[in-house]
Amino acid sequence: MPDRGKFAAYTLPMLLFVALLGLNSLLKKIDNRFWLSSAEYWIYPAQAILCGGLLLWFRRQYHFHRLTRLIFVVSIAVAVFLLWISPQAFFGFAARTAGFNPDILSANPTLYWTTIILRFVRLVAVVPFVEEIFWRGFLLRYLVDEEFERVPFGFFSWFSFFAVTAAFGFSHSKADWTAALVTGALYNGIAYRTKSLSSCILTHAITNLLLGLWIMKTKQWGFW
């Protein structure tokens, strides 16, 4: 069995993140009052704070490795961003306007900007760390050997490659499955090519930053 401290550090932030998403879905079914039917307006900030706190708590357990192949990293990040927006931006698919819309809070500038800031913290900092630590740092190696720290970061295995690609892809909403599956394969490729968890996190963060800015510009809240 893997070291319990390491196992917890690599899995608990993701488990908490997913649990809060599940709570969001559950609350929507209970009542039509705003704080329940639109629970994401407080659950998403809670994810940023609580999952970010867990990452800081476990920070000494992670091995991030130095950043490498920055041009490759940025190129993949931009390619993934273009992949996600291409149906609407280039092929005339219907705009995805239904979703987490901060404009409903615009009457209160303090609440509006606090919400936007926390949304970007979640999107650009918390999500890339949580997901890359779990998918590439943990599961990609755990499926090779349950003593995952014995497996060098970026070690290639066909089984773990396809399993993590599929799990990553299908963990997203159905509308995003195609883009998410390709993204999972490309992010795995970052791990194999760079041998650096930091490079994986940076790739994911750049993609999400570009996507967040595009969402704010086009108001396609369905991409949140």
The tens-digit pLDDT sequence of the chain (224 residues) is: 668 889 999 999 999 999 999 998 898 888 778 778 788 889 999 999 999 999 999 999 999 999 999 999 999 999 999 999 999 999 989 999 888 889 888 899 999 999 999 999 999 999 999 999 999 999 999 999 999 999 999 999 999 999 999 999 999 999 899 999 999 999 999 999 999 999 999 999 999 999 999 999 999 998 88
Give Cβ neighbours of residue 177 (< 8 Å, ≥ 6 apart).
Answer: 169, 170
Distance CA 224, CA 216 (A): 10
- By residue count, the chain amounts to 224
